[in-house]
Structure 1
Amino acid sequence: MNKEYSNRQVYFVGGGIASLAGAAYLVRDCGFPGQNIHIIEEMPILGGSNDGAGNPEQGYVIRGGRMLNDEAYENLWELLSSIPSIDHPGQSVREEITAFDDANPTHSNARLVNRDGLVEDVLSMGFDMTDRLALGKLIVTPEEKMGKARINDWFGPHFFETNFWYMWATTFAFQPWHSAVEFKRYMLRFFHEFPRIQTLEGVTRTPYNQYDSIILPMQKYLEPFGVDFTLKCTVTDLTFKEGDDITVTRMHVRRQGAEDVIEVNEGDLVIVTNGSMTEGASLGSMNSAPSLNGKGSSWKLWENIAPKKPGLGNPSSFNDHVDESKWESFTVTFHDSTFFDLMEKFTRNRAGTGALVTFKDSSWFMSVVLAFQPHFRNQPEHVKVFWGYGLYPDKVGDFVKKRMSDCTGEEIMEELIGHLHFEEHKEAIMATANCIPCMMPYITSQFMPRLNSDRPKVVPEGSTNLAFISQFCEIPDDVVFTEEYSVRAARIAVYTLLGINRPIEPINQYQYDVRTLFNSFVTSFR
């Protein structure tokens, strides 16, 4: 333990993967005393958007699954190499995930399904020369010249009917009106995935959902250091010291309905998760639709502090466009294997080896994925769980003539059975189905068109003790909506604020690799 830190405190606002990673870097790389690290979380559980909860009786819920990539998540893998596995003593979480993924490699045989319920041949990207030229121009145009341009400002209507768009959009949850800059960053960051987008071979899977496989081991790693997890506590505002610098002097919190203040002394640090993509999420049930909620505490905190100092960003670019940032997911729990048996036969993929199955002609633009079972630690052998989502929740269904957002879990299952043409098995499928829909108003808010200044830097100019570690801070060249973004932000925040001279894993620049460039060029003409 480093004695110079004995009187200093670090406060993390939010209990997601970024805060847990930041705490891990503090104890592992800085010798910071664990009892002086405080993770303040509004919910009664850690993990933030990396959630996974439930039981066989009430059903399981995953609001969303974050896909991992073996080559592009440099800091996440480095960190998980030092987090011990819960299930395999002597192994790191990184080794555990690698072993599992090697035993269950992803290779989708049914990436796109058409309106007739037939698996499409997706080897061709479906581009014409106009699409290829627009893609090339996007990749070479500097970000600062693109401003708030949307993807559909760069590409014509044909592009959005290509196999490439159907696969890329559903893999990463892009909409045509999302930021062209974010789309460009994804193209560059995952350049190596472009030639195999039709099989998603580059996807790395965890043995369980990400709460059980990543969050829980990180929490167990931090507990023996004495890290303080303050749950059911909401940070509502920050007070800053007068003057040009950015120095937090007080944190305003609400615990059990009562207002309180945490004094931030000289040398203390405040590291904030500003904004949240899963905030306001609402669950439905088999016989009720989820509601559409509004802003909660993480957005309100950012809105409260942004006007107080320059360089703290502009939350309204992200959180004032719910109709463009929302979509709906659903988690389905079965007490037998009927649906899984049918899907494995249909897709020619054993559960856990396929990828998203996208119904490209679906009004809801719906996709489903069958994970390796069990997907939860407490899941019995006879229980099966899968996840799906619809990118267009306000559209009326093809089989159920209602907007997805108005549908119950039972109606979502009806729509899915229709697209799969499983009608003759409907009774057997529905006999034990428990479909829990989840509406998420801000789930792709980080993709909204923005100016560079709309996202604060991880450590803003002039900051002496404040950093940001959410999906809404700015890390040049990296891509939001990923575990890597959160972990990289946390590492930058901790090292910068404490003046630690240690390397941060660089971003792999696959667009400069000759073989990758050649393969991508060939792919664009497939």
Structure 2
Amino acid sequence: MLNQEKCNAHERKAYFIGGGIASLAGAAFLIRDGGMEGRNIHILEDLGINGGALDGIGSGNQDYVIRGGRMLNEPTYECTWNLLADIPSIDRPGKSVKDEIHDFTAQYPTHAKARLIDRTRQVVDVKHMGFSYEDRMDMSRLLIKSEEDLGAKRINEWFSEHFFSTNFWYMWATMFAFQPWHSAVEFRRYMIRFMHEFHRIDTLAGVARTPYNQYDSIVLPIQKWLEKQGVQYSLNTTVTDIDFAGEGSKRTAERIHLRQANHTGEILVSPEDLVFFTNGSMTENSDLGGMDRAPVLKDKGPSFGLWDKLSAKQPGFGNPAAFSNNITQSKWESFTVTCRNPLFFRRMEEFTGNKTGTGALVTFKDSNWLMSVVLAHQPHFRNQPDDIQVFWGYSLAGDQKGNYVDKTMAECTGAEIPTELCGHFRFTDDLPLLLETSDVIPCMMPFITSQFMPRVKGDRPDVVPEGSTNFALLGQYTEIPEDVVFTVEYSVRSAMTAVYKLLNIEKDIPQPYKGQHSPKVLFESLVTALR
């Protein structure tokens, strides 16, 4: 069990429940800005590895897996850059992780030449958004509408059916994983937060990328830095409950209940200690399939389970059911392909006109699965051999039968997915070699877009709930005005907010970039909307 004797009794301790980027960032802020000793900080993670949704596993000649990829953005990731500026690069002495990412992005800029492909295998002219007059009016009205007025309205309750056939929707939806039934409030926030990217949505030229997958490029450097500071990790540790004591309007976390293997235990939390909980997880209970098996769709796991328990007994802790009780509308499936022959990458470069690592998502807009793939710069893993290449894809409509496979994607094994992919590309002659020299690992994620589900005020709790003296919530299911979920930035901002508020740190948290106040951004957006 977790050894509390490692810390002196009089020293403040901090406990992070969940080992994702929010907790790692929070631990770093406690040390950097709060002056805490790293040895007094404990991260309790249910899985056998930290990183949460920022993952990447595999080694040598084994199969590689990334459940998803995170795009970064220079002006809008204010808190993330603030953090990474002080995390040393693993590979480049004297450079920070922030420097490393910016240098890499400058060296390999993104400029997609084949963002959308139609049913005839033609590259769509996506300089034209395809808006009707009604679409433009609906968009304008949405931007000036208040979140209170929108409430739990869905995107498809605001826009007409035509909107969902525009080039804009296919690009925006697949870039951010929006579905028509998702929250109109969140869609509005995205339109405002990334308005400066609207004029180059066709090329994604504003995207910043990490040299490797986000685990190798972001999580690993932070984790190594935290380890040097003495931060302690307890992996394969499930927190099952938290007890609170309260007098009047105050409430204080006083005990953490946990399970490790077949043993149960508890951590006594003193009033001056701090407890941070990442409530909910968009990658919770993900399941990996294989070449000969489809992944399994699972239900809630420990993070949503604990949030359910706490919200039932503590006012102001949000409404997890709004996000976790409709898996059919929050799930989708991704797949990772490990190639031991360069043929597919050569074919993709020839077809798209993009060298590997310079393009973006290639989306088959008429695909029954609404399938997209992307070739990241190689190697995409720190330990990836020179003769292996790895690419990733996903589908937003995996419950439909394929165009070339008479199954839903959810029913397909890894070996069946390339048939659909090569069918859309017309690479069917290459399919036997691709199957012979590649491994495909599908991944079902039941809650991957649950944070986008329609919500009302109070469904997402404040980072520090009212009356809390030593407890905070972190991550994608907290309420942070003006910022957008499904981003690394949201998790890091929640961590900075929690640490600064609980410790009364008198430093300014970087404000969200407000491109909508820039005449240049407004003009470029108007011109794009009229194309």
- Interval containing the TM-score (normalised by the shorter chain): over 0.9
State the alpha-carbon separation in 2 of the partners of residues 270 and 27 from structure 1.
15
Pairing 1:205–2:206 present:
no
Counterpart residue number, 2:72: 68
Q: What is the rounded CA distance, in whole Å, between the counterparts of 1:401 and 1:88 in structure 2?
A: 49
State the secondary structure of the residue aligned to 1:130.
helix
Quote the Cα distance in structure 1 between the aligned partners of 2:273 and 2:25. Answer: 18
Give the one of 147, 154, 167 matched to 1:150.
Answer: 154
Matching residue of 2:434: 429
Question: Mapping of 1:381-392 within 5 angstroms?
Answer: 381-392=386-397
- CA distance in 2 between counterparts of 1:124 and 1:374 reads 34
Q: Which amino acid aligns with 1:410?
A: A
Give runs of aligned pairs for residues 438-517 of structure 1, distance below 5 A.
Answer: 438-517=443-522
Give the structure 2 partner of residue 123 of structure 1. 127
1:284-363 matched pairs, under 5 angstroms: 284-363=289-368
Q: CA deviation at 1:4?
A: 12
Aligned to 1:20: 24
2:456 equivalent to 1:414: no
2:3 maps to which residue? none
| Structure 2 residue 12 is matched with structure 1 residue 8 | yes
Distance 2:308 2:182 in 1: 22
Q: What is the Cα-based RMSD across aligned positions, in Å?
A: 1.2
Contact 2:173 2:179 (8 Å CA) reproduced: yes
Which of 248, 258, 263 is the matching residue for 2:253? 248
**Residues 194 and 523, structure 1, Cα contact 8 Å, conserved in 2:** yes
1:80-119 matches, within 5 Å, as: 80-119=84-123
Deviation at 1:58, TM superposition (A): 3.3
- The AA in structure 2 aligned to 1:99 is D
**Residue by residue, what CA displacement relative to the aligned partner does 1:419-469 show, whole Å, maximum 9, x if unpaired?**
001112222222211010000000000000001200110001111011011
Change (3 A) 1:496 1:4: farther
Distance in 2, matches of 1:468 and 1:395, equals 37
Distance 1:87 1:283 in 2: 30
Q: 2:138 aligns with which of 125, 130, 134?
A: 134
- Tell me the equivalent position of 1:228: 232
Q: Classify the secondary structure of the residue corresponding to 2:440.
A: strand
Q: Which residue of 1 aligns with 2:4?
A: none
- Give the CA deviation at 1:56: 4.4
Amino acid at match of 2:515: Y
Cα deviations by residue, 1:323-374 (Å, 9 ceiling, x for unpaired)? 0000000000011110000001101001110000000000000000000000
Task: Report the 3-state secondary structure (helix = DSSP H, G, I; strand = E; otherwise coil) of the residue aligned with 1:431.
Answer: helix
Q: 1:4 to 1:522 in 2, by over 3 A?
A: farther
User: C-alpha offsets along residues 217-276 of structure 1, whole Å, 9 cap, x if unaligned?
Assistant: 001111111111111111111111144322111111001121111111120111110000
Deviation at 1:6, TM superposition (A): 5.9
Aligned counterparts of 1:414 and 1:43: Cα–Cα separation in 2: 33
CA distance in 1, matches of 2:9, 2:464: 20
Pick from 183, 186, 190: which aligns with 2:190? 186
2:76 matches 1:54 = no
**Residue identity in the other structure for 1:427:** P
- Give 2:425's aligned amino acid: L
Q: Compared with structure 1, are the counterparts of its residues 323 and 90 closer, same or farther at alpha carbon in structure 2 (3 Å cutoff)?
A: same
Does the aligned pair in 1 maintain the 2:252–2:271 contact within 8 Å?
no
The more displaced of 235-244 and 481-490 is 235-244
In structure 2, the partner of 1:40 is 44
Query: For the residues of structure 1 that align with 2:39 and 2:505, how far apart are their CA atoms?
Result: 20
Is residue 232 of structure 2 the alignment partner of residue 196 of structure 1?
no
Q: What's the CA shift string for 1:102-132, capped at 9, x where partnerless?
A: 0100000000001111111110000010000
In the aligned structure 2, how far is the partner of 1:340 from the partner of 1:56?
A: 19
Output the CA distance in 2 between the equivalents of 1:56 and 1:396.
35
Q: SS of the counterpart of 2:251?
A: coil
User: Does the CA contact (< 8 Å) of 1:336 and 1:383 recur in 2?
Assistant: yes
Runs of 5+ consecutive residues of structure 1 not aligned to the other structure: none
Q: Is the 8 A contact 2:154 2:183 kept in 1?
A: yes
SS in 2 for 1:252: strand
For residues 262 and 461 of structure 2, the distance between their equivalents in structure 1, rounded to whole angstroms, comes to 30
CA shift at 1:101, angstroms? Answer: 0.8
Distance 1:304 1:294 in 2: 16
Number of equivalenced pairs: 524
Is the 1:246–1:309 Cα contact (8 Å) retained in structure 2? no
Q: Given that residues 207 and 372 in structure 1 are in contact (C-alpha distance below 8 angstroms), is that contact kept between their aligned partners in structure 2?
A: yes
SS of alignment partner, residue 241 of structure 2: strand
Identity rate, percent: 57
TM-score relative to the length of structure 2: 0.97
Partner of 1:214: 218
Give the drift of 1:19.
Answer: 0.5
Deviation digits for residues 482-506 of structure 1 (CA, Å, limit 9, x no counterpart): 0000000000000100111011111
Give deviations 1:59-85, integer Å, cap 9, x for gaps.
100001111111110010111011000
Question: Within 2, Cα distance between the matches of 1:358 and 1:289?
Answer: 23
Per-residue deviation, 1:470: 1.4
Tell me the amino acid that sits aligned with residue 110 of structure 1: A
Matching residue's letter, 2:98? R
